[in-house]
Amino acid sequence: MSAPLRAGLVGLGVMGRNHARVLSQMDGVELVGVVDPAGKPEGTPHGVPLLDELDELMKLGIDYAVVACPTALHEKIGLALAEAGVGALIEKPLAESVEAAERLVKAFESRGLVAGVGHIERYNPALQSMRKRLEAGELGEVFQVVTRRQGPFPHRISDVGVVKDLATHDIDLTAWVTGQDYVSVCAHTVARSGRPHEDMVSAVGRLSDGSMVNHLVNWLSPLKERTTVVTGERGCFVADTLTADLTFYANGELSTEWEALRTFRGVSEGDMIRYAIPKREPLLVEHERFRDAVLTGAAGGEPPADIVTLRQALRTVEVSAALLESARLGQTVALPASGVTGAV
């Protein structure tokens, strides 16, 4: 049996502790060190050293690192890892600006390193099932994607607003489940918590196939909601990513003898099906896919297509920047073609 991959972790906040839990229990991986100057030793798995500097982690000899520090530090840590020839799984968003994200893409791609971004919603069982059903044509032509992501303010977030912290989930999952790219966006934002960043965004967009997108995202609500609704010619899919449930609402048969209404092509309520789907923890699945990508890359093969590439994550940063630009200007912002989609 081959030796396990040696993994490091940068950042021991709320998300970092979840990464540490999964890494310390996963087959084929050994968590050898955690970097966080402000971290508490009791937050690390038993026997794993807590370090102050990235250089200390490098000296332990690692095959890859998980970057779960604040977004503002992603570029600095990512570039250092790339320079050292170490692959990385970077938490979303990839970086706090388009320019920083571009530099990270160049750094890892130019060295042929395996790198991915933690857009965890791609591994949610409900969205995984939805994507397969959309690819199979079960909904027919897609008309609209609507997402709602709201809940209480996460006090751990201080360096970015709700667009880069939360809306990036919805941007990525929308492109991924539909296999389409964003063409234009129009957004409005508000700030009510006294912080320098926006607390709420309401956005409308258009995808490359002409379908319509709506995103409502905020951290001002005591109601926690994570819902994705895809409407098409045969009905709609509703994914609740908090419970990993997927429900299909079919169009019913519309029949009437009222001649004046026959010319209106509408729909009525039909059957409702909640699918029984296997439910594994999305973070564990994300780590397993990235582990396999590192192993494949180390063997000289092409990494699997089921990790979120840095180039895909760059596009998500571009769309989020366009949302903020639209809100600032008060007008629709067109996006240039990216050459990649969430389906790649």
Q: In what order do the strands lie in the sheet with 235-240?
A: 268-274, 245-252, 235-240, 225-232, 142-150, 212-218, 200-207, 182-190, 333-334
Tell me what the mean pLDDT of segment 101-115 comes to.
97
Helix (H, G, I), strand (E, B) or coil at 324: helix
Give me the amino acid identity at 152. P
Q: At what angle do helices 74-83 and 98-110 cross, to 10 degrees?
A: 10
Span 134-161, mean pLDDT? Answer: 88
**pLDDT value of position 194:** 78
CA distance linking residue 37 with residue 193, whole number of Å: 28
Phi, psi of 261 (to 5 degrees): -95, -10
- Estimate to the nearest angstrom the gap between the alpha carbon of 298 and the chain centroid: 25
Among the ranges 157-166, 167-176, 247-256, which has the highest mean pLDDT value? Answer: 167-176
How many other C-beta atoms can be found within 10 angstroms of the C-beta atom of residue 337?
A: 8
Tell me the per-residue pLDDT of 26-38, one tens digit each, with 9 for 90 and over.
999 999 999 999 8
Q: Is the pLDDT of residue 62 over 90?
A: yes
pLDDT at residue 268 above 90? no
| pTM of the predicted structure, to 2 decimals | 0.91
Q: What is the pLDDT of residue 313?
A: 97
Of residues 156 and 291, the one with the higher pLDDT is 291
Mean pLDDT computed over 77-93? 97
> For the chain, which domains are there?
5-120+282-308 (3.40.50.720), 122-280+317-334 (3.30.360.10)
**pLDDT at res. 234:** 94
Query: In the prediction, which pLDDT does 322 show?
Result: 98
Rounded to an integer, the average pLDDT of 51-58 is: 96
Task: Give me the percent of the chain exceeding a pLDDT of 90.
Answer: 78
Question: Could you tell me which residues are beta bridge partners of residue 190?
Answer: 200
pLDDT tens for each residue of 303-342: 667 899 999 999 999 999 999 999 999 999 999 987 554 4
